Chains A and B, each alone.
Chain A
Amino acid sequence: MSPFTPEQAKALKAWTLRYPKPQMGLVEALRDVQRSHGWVRPEDEAFIAELFDVPLDRVHAVAAFYPYFTLTPAGKHRVCVCRNLSCHRRGGDRMLEHLRKRLGVPEGEATPDGLFSYEAVECLGACDHAPAFSVGDELVGAASEELIDKVIEDLKAGKPVQQAPIVIGATGPESGRKLLTKHFGEPELHRLEVYRRFGGYSALEKASRMRPADITSEVKRSNLRGLGGAGFPTGMKWETVPPKSQRDEPHYLVANADESEPGCYKDRALMERNPHALIEGLAIAARAVEADALFIFIRGEYARQKRILEEAIEEARKAGAIAQDIFVMRGAGAYISGCDTALLETMEGRKAWPRQPPPFPTVSGVFGRPTVVNNVETLMMLPAILRDGGEAFAKIGPQGSGGTRVYSVSGDVERPGIYEFPMGAPLSGILAAAGGVRGGRRLKAILPGGASTPVLTAEEAAKARMDFDGLRSAGSSLGAGGLVVLDETADMVETLHIIERFLRHESCGQCAPCREGSGWVARILSRILEGNGIPEDLGNLSRISGNVAGRVICALGDSVGMAAKAMIEKFPEDFRRRIHA
């Protein structure tokens, strides 16, 4: 007997028809199951396996891998509070404690009436709303005891939850060049007509008259580098795609909108305010790499941004601005899905275990097809490059990194938000634009590219320039441009513990050193925090975390090592104080 009503079964069946391959709808179908039943039951897995014609173990592996799915009943309303660094600095743990008392059940368990359950989560991509909290798929905003109580009461009364305000207006130096956030003040920017008024889709028109190779050359001239964190030159990546004349089979292009690095939420804001720039960028890139199927892979927590994108795609299609459809796909709460080869696995309806190149995705990606994965911000830069020329774009930044960069600033600053600066801008300028350190306190440290990038001391931050090579020479990484600011009250053992706990939580479990090492490091730090540290811990932490870095398939393991190394080297006194207390 089917565990679903005929209507539900029909809706699940629809997911098998939605994307170029049936299995690409598997994660979405399981999301439906989770939402309708409150958990994924064994009979649901069997049903999905049959529906999608995949082995049962694969469905169970997916259900057991992604945090969005639960294998025991969750509440009808899942309240999630972020406990990662930026949210921790603004009271995330206190909010969790409040929920614990308020709902009177252990984490993850439904209240007796089945209405609520709560979870501590590692980043909702809303560090500007710290401490961020969400109900179901929807971000609510910055949590406070009062707001949590109100939301619970509203939900009990069957009232809709009031949502976080849309991000309005990123700031930056008034004089500086802005390519993506210039018109953020325009409330209707997400409408096609408004986007067009600012010159939108003229670059795509221009690109449509160019040969694919010429588009790639223009992008190479621009020095555009991947803004998802790796910093790989975009034009060079495109050149590794076999041309259609060599491989006559569908090529895929994916906008990686699985922004999940704690401290980073710029893609969220960019998609929310300026969705057409992404759509135009995708269409331009599609022409350059001869892509037939276009995707936006967006993290599941960005429910509103998904709606905005889908509306914008619809609008652009109807108006004939773009010729192709763009598929919007969602993940299910795993950070590792943002790693390009893991993303391919999620798209194929599998758990997100990164692949080991070669072959690289551009040669063999989704279902073995040549697949280009570019970050949202990277793709959004393409209209500017085509419009003004690659050279002009390159000139905005220093040698080797062209254009501007959009930063997410969070943590202990006066005005968390997103800020666009030319590549190579001094870090101090970005901090100043965000109003400086909160409450007049002194700066202690900055994580310049997201929570898992190596920490910079206040002195280093004062000198740092924000571009790929500049930060590399400062011993850190530009990452995805998420600046997490820590003031003098921050304890670096606690900070490192939060980072390593996050990495442990997100380690996919494939390679032994990362699977075991991330957990080991997190447990040592947790023991030190409990006051049971011993002098050998410092050396062991460095050695163990260092042994994970560089020895595993993907970059997550590198973060385990680099985060610890920098923190221990730069703030040894914080560790010694804890250990000898």
Chain B
Amino acid sequence: MPEITLSIDGVSVTVSEGALVIDAARSAGIDIPHYCYHPALGNPGVCRLCMVEVEGLPKLQVSCRLKAKEGMVVRTNSSAARRAQSSSLEFHLVNHPLDCPVCDQAGECLLQDTYQRCGLYSSTVREDKRHKPKRVKIGERIVFDSERCILCTRCVRFLDEVTKTRELGVFGRGDREEVELCPGRRVDNPYSGNIVDICPVGALTDADFRFQVRVWYLAGTASVCPGCARGCSIFVHSNVQRPWHAGGRRVVRLKPRFNPEVNGYWICDEGRYGCKSIDSPSRLKAPSLLKDGKVGAISWEDATKLVSAELAELCRAKGPQGLAVILSGTLSNEDLFAAKRLFIERLKAGHVLLRPGPDQLGEEDGLLRRKEKVPNLRGAQALGFGTAIRESSWEKILAGLTSGEIWGLYVVDRDPLAVWGAEAGEALLGLPFTLHQAANANRFTRAARWVLPSTSYAEEDATFTNFQGRTQRARKAVAPLGEARPDWRIFGGLLAALGAEFPYGSARSVFEALAGERSDLVGLDFELAPDGEPR
């Protein structure tokens, strides 16, 4: 596309020919107010808010449908354009309930934002507002308030064009029209949460987040979703200022972060609501040891010393081929680097398993979701897991346990009982060494002698390599819960106790060491990783 130059509010802007004026303005840092336009959902041009004046054209133009032309002179803030924007906003508010004090969208509402800029500040509406349905649960996750809806049709277009599930429509006519569920339907597709994100007002709210905490108390951390092999870019929204709100939940929601290479504007519901594990009651907070049928707390120092001693002793006495290590694609590149040092290089464990089994495989579709429900399978492969490092299998490990060939089971994150079935629990009871290292407890936790609490993904700096081979950064949004430690640090502690060298004090330094082993990471900056080019 040839480039053209136009003037917007006196600023000279160069864009590809045919670009929309609203996008050209945005590229120059000029935000033209709009509701219906969304870059991924087209430009129906129905909210009539983005009106601008164009030299030589008698009528004002909607900038979301206006193609930029060479030499075009556009004014977004002339008095005529401002008047038009103000009056369009006024029309949007005629039947809007103005219930900001009790509306969850307050603070991130485009009606509020636009009002700050071009509101009229003295209402002339004397008529009664139209009453429409409120608090309608239109899906498992979504609550709809029709009175607040401004009929921008973004949600309808998302469901028509992106998920193609078409649960919602604009039904009726004129000012009697409403966004409604199609008869007999509910918004229950795997991407439903996105309609809350794109709703510019408080019409669509998230059943999970509603009334938990005001959005202005939230901090946003750019990160990546660990829910599957795609690794969608996200913002982790954490409630650190009002710990007594949201029932004590620190990570209160995830929002998609635009990334044209990976996820566009969207994330799936599995990923979105996966964040509930971070503050779940199942979180493990301190190391513990099962002794004489009782779980007893133990310090990290003692646990590290005793676990390493037990492992060294059992390996010496029974041979390392009897040690089975079940790792997980949930581990970051840094964690896996340390795990490799510990289990492969130092202990030379006989059985190592990492690839997803039935416990970590799920649904895949053509949109975002990948069937491997772990974020770092490609990272593990790049370190040799499943290639240079031969993997064992669930069957072989179970057989080894039953035959007594395996004396120890070191499990990270996963639940072997979910794969083997609960009957396998018996085989575990007599085992000399069982350890569960995880952020959240599962059935295996109760069967394990040792329990080591690891951090959740929002509690550590890390990198994951997604299915495309892109290495992306997850960032720490909240402090580790209790005494939880990053996995790489736990492995590093054991290595040190075993007398091996592991001189790294931060995820960054681990990453830098790792980059020496993985050619795909050479030249990649730990800080910039999430937004780097695909590799």
Residue B294 lies at the interface, judged by CB distance under 8 Å to chain A: no
CA distance A121 to B256 in the complex (A): 48
Contact of B174 among A42, A505, A534, A540 (CB under 8 A): A505
Closest residue of B by beta carbon distance from A517: B91
Q: List 18 A-B contacts (CB under 8 A).
A: A56-B184, A57-B169, A64-B171, A509-B176, A512-B47, A515-B91, A515-B177, A516-B91, A516-B95, A519-B130, A519-B174, A519-B175, A524-B126, A524-B127, A548-B91, A551-B60, A551-B84, A551-B88
Measured between beta carbons, the chain B residues less than 8 angstroms from A548 are: 91
| Segment 102-147 of B: residues with Cβ below 8 Å from A | 124-128, 130
Report the minimal beta-carbon distance from B179 to chain A, rounded to whole angstroms. Answer: 11
The B-contacting residues of A in range 95-125, CB under 8 angstroms, are: none
Q: Is A61's CB under 8 angstroms from B175's CB?
A: no
A93 to B411, CA, bound (A): 81
Cβ-closest chain A residue relative to B172? A64
User: Contact between B92 and A516 (Cβ–Cβ < 8 Å)?
Assistant: yes
At the interface, yes or no: B316 with Cβ under 8 Å from chain A? no
Which residues of chain A come closer than 8 Å to B174, judged between CB atoms?
504-509, 515, 518-519
Is A509 touching B87 in the complex (CB atoms < 8 A)?
no
Query: Which chain A positions have C-beta within 8 A of B87?
Result: 513, 547, 551
Residue A552 is within 8 A (CB to CB) of chain B in the complex: yes
From A351, A517, A540, A552, give the contact of B124 (CB < 8 A): A540
Among candidates B126, B151, B182, residue contacting A515 with C-beta atoms closer than 8 Å: B151
- A61–B181 alpha-carbon span in the complex (Å): 11
Q: How many chain B residues touch the partner (CB < 8 A)?
A: 43
User: What residues of B have a CB within 8 angstroms of the CB of A508 in the complex?
Assistant: 173-174
Q: Are A56 and B182 in contact (CB under 8 A)?
A: yes
Q: Residue A553 at the B interface, CB < 8 A?
A: yes
Nearest residue (CB) in A for B86 is: A547
Given contacts A45-B183, A551-B48, A553-B45, contact A512 B168 (CB under 8 A): no
Cβ-defined contact, A60 with B88, below 8 A: no
A61 to B180, CA, bound (A): 10
Report the separation of the CA atoms of residues A159 and B176 in the bound assembly, to the nearest whole angstrom: 38
- The 8 A-B residue pairs with the shortest CB-CB distance, nearest first, are A519-B175, A547-B87, A57-B169, A509-B177, A507-B174, A516-B91, A64-B171, A523-B127
B59 at the interface (CB under 8 A from A): yes
B48 and A513 contact, CB distance less than 8 A: yes
Complex CA distance for A540 and B88, rounded to whole angstroms = 15
Q: How far is the CA of A558 from the CA of B61 in the complex (A)?
A: 15
Asked if B166 is an interface residue, CB under 8 A from chain A, the answer is yes
> Of A509, A534, A540, which one neighbours B173 at CB under 8 angstroms?
A509
Given A45-B183, A508-B174, A551-B51, decide whether A520 and B169 contact each other with a Cβ distance below 8 A. no
| A65 lies within 8 A of chain B by Cβ | yes
- A151 located at the interface, meaning its Cβ lies under 8 Å from any Cβ of chain B in the complex: no
Assembled-state Cα–Cα distance A88/B46 (Å): 33
**Is A356 an interface residue, CB under 8 A from the partner?**
yes
A518 to B174 CA separation, bound complex (whole angstroms): 8
Q: Do B173 and A65 touch across chains, with their CB atoms under 8 A apart?
A: yes
Closest to B95 in A: A516
The reply on A490 being an interface residue by CB < 8 A is no
- Please report which residues of chain A, range 537-565, place their CB below 8 angstroms from some CB of chain B when the two chains form the complex: 540, 544, 547-548, 550-553
| A-facing residues in B287-308 (Cβ within 8 Å) | none
Q: Chain B residues with Cβ under 8 A from A56's Cβ?
A: 166, 182-185
Instruction: Give the distance to chain B from A37, nearest Cβ to Cβ, in Å.
Output: 15
Most A Cβ at <10 Å: residue of B44, B126, B170, B174: B174
Asked if A458 is at the interface of the complex by the 8 Å CB criterion, the answer is no
Task: Say yes or no: A57-B91 contact (C-beta < 8 A), given A509-B174, A516-B175, A518-B175.
Answer: no
Contacts of A517 in B (CB 8 A): 91, 94
Q: In chain A between 132 and 163, which residues have their CB closer than 8 angstroms to a CB of chain B?
A: none
Distance between A336 CB and nearest chain B CB, rounded to angstroms: 9
A204→B331 CA distance, assembly (Å): 80
Q: In the complex, which residue of chain B has the Cβ closest to the Cβ of A508?
A: B173
16 additional A-B pairs beyond A56-B184, A356-B65, A547-B84, beta carbons within 8 Å, are A56-B183, A61-B170, A505-B174, A506-B174, A512-B46, A512-B88, A512-B91, A515-B91, A515-B151, A516-B175, A517-B94, A519-B130, A519-B174, A520-B127, A547-B91, A551-B88
| Interface: A208 (CB within 8 A) | no
Contacts of B88 in A (CB 8 A): 512-513, 551
What chain B residues lie within 8 Å of A544 (beta carbons)? Answer: 124
Establish whether residues A64 and B173, one from each chain, have CB atoms under 8 Å apart when the complex forms.
yes
Partner of A512, one of B92, B167, B172, B183: B92
A60/B47 contact (C-beta < 8 A), A509-B177, A516-B91 known: no
Q: If the complex has contacts A507-B174, A527-B127, are A61 and B169 also in contact, measured as CB distance less than 8 A?
A: yes
B90 at the A interface (CB under 8 A): yes
B284 at the interface (CB under 8 A from A): no
Q: Are A520 and B94 interface neighbours, CB within 8 A? A: yes
